[in-house]
Structure 1
Amino acid sequence: MKTKEINNNTVIDKIDVHVHIGKYAGSFVNSNYEPKILDYFKKNGYKKIVFTHNSFFFNLEEGLKNTLEFILANSNFAYGYLVYNPHFIERSLNIIRDNFGKNNIVGIKMHPEDHRCFIDDEKYRPLWKIASEKKIPVLSHTWNPNVASSFQKFADAVLFEKVIMEFPGLKIILGYAGAKDYYYIEVVKMLKKLKKYHLYIDTAGDILYRGMLEKFVESAGAERILFGSDVPWMDPAFTISYIESSGFSLPVKTRIFSGNAADLFAI
Structure 2
Amino acid sequence: MRREDRHRPPEVDVIIDAHTHVWPDAIAEKALGANALPGLRALRDGKAGTLAADMRANGIDHSVALGVAGAAKHVDRTNEFVSSLDRDRFTPFGTVHVDQSVEANLASLRRHGIHGVKVHPLFQGFGLEDPRLWELLEAFGSEFPVITHVGAGGSGAVNSLSTPKMLRKIVRTFPQLRLVACHFGGYHMLEEAREELRDLPIVLETSWPPGLATVHPGTVREIIGRHGAERVVFGSDWPMADPAAEIAAIGALGLGDETEAALLGGNLSRVLRLPV
TM category, shorter? 0.7 to 0.9
- CA-to-aligned-CA distance 1:46-97 (integer Å, 9 cap, x gap): 111111135x33501110221122x2xx231111001121122332222234
Query: 1:7 and 1:107 mapped to 2: Cα distance?
Result: 28
**Would the aligned equivalents of 1:204 and 1:229 in 2 still touch at CA under 8 Å?**
yes
- Whole-Å Cα distance in 2 between the matches of residues 31 and 7 of structure 1? 21
- Matched residue, 2:190: 184
Percentage identity across aligned positions?
19
**Aligned alpha-carbon RMSD (Å):** 2.6
Q: What TM-score comes out, normalization by structure 1 length? A: 0.83
Q: TM-score, normalised by structure 2?
A: 0.81
1:112 is aligned, of 105, 121, 140, to 121
Q: In the TM superposition, what are the counterparts of 1:1-267 in structure 2 within 5 Å?
A: 10=10, 12=12, 13-22=14-23, 23=28, 24=31, 25-26=33-34, 27=36, 31=45, 33-54=47-68, 56-58=69-71, 59-69=74-84, 71=85, 74-90=86-102, 91-99=104-112, 102=113, 105-134=114-143, 136-144=144-152, 148-181=155-188, 183-194=189-200, 197=201, 199-206=202-209, 208=212, 209-210=215-216, 211-267=218-274
Secondary structure class of the residue paired with 2:133: helix
Once residues 257 and 202 of structure 1 are traced to their aligned partners in structure 2, the CA distance between those partners, rounded to angstroms, is 10
Q: How far apart in 2 are the matches of 1:227 and 1:32?
A: 19
Stretches of structure 1 that go unaligned for 5 or more consecutive residues are none
When residues 37 and 5 of structure 1 are mapped into structure 2, their CA distance, relative to the original with a 3 A threshold, is closer
In structure 2, relative to structure 1, the CA distance for the partners of 1:78 and 1:247 (3 Å cut) is same
Q: How many residues align?
A: 250
In structure 1, give the amino acid aligned to 2:203: Y
Task: Supply the distance in 2 between the matched residues of 1:8 and 1:20 (Cα, whole angstroms).
Answer: 22
- Listed as ranges, the gaps of 5+ residues in structure 2 are none
1:212 CA displacement: 2.7
Deviation at 1:160, TM superposition (A): 1.4
Q: 1:254 to 1:177 in 2, by over 3 A?
A: same
**Superposition deviation, residue 115 in structure 1:** 2.1
Distance apart, 1:243 and its partner CA: 0.3
Cα separation, 2, equivalents of 1:119 and 1:187: 15
Structure 1 residues 76 and 160: CA distance shift in structure 2, 3 A: same
Greater strand share, structure number: 1
Aligned-partner Cα distance in 2 for 1:20–1:109: 10
Measure how far apart 1:32 and its partner are.
6.8
Aligned counterparts of 1:257 and 1:8: Cα–Cα separation in 2: 10
* 8 Å contact from structure 1 (residues 178, 187) kept in 2: yes
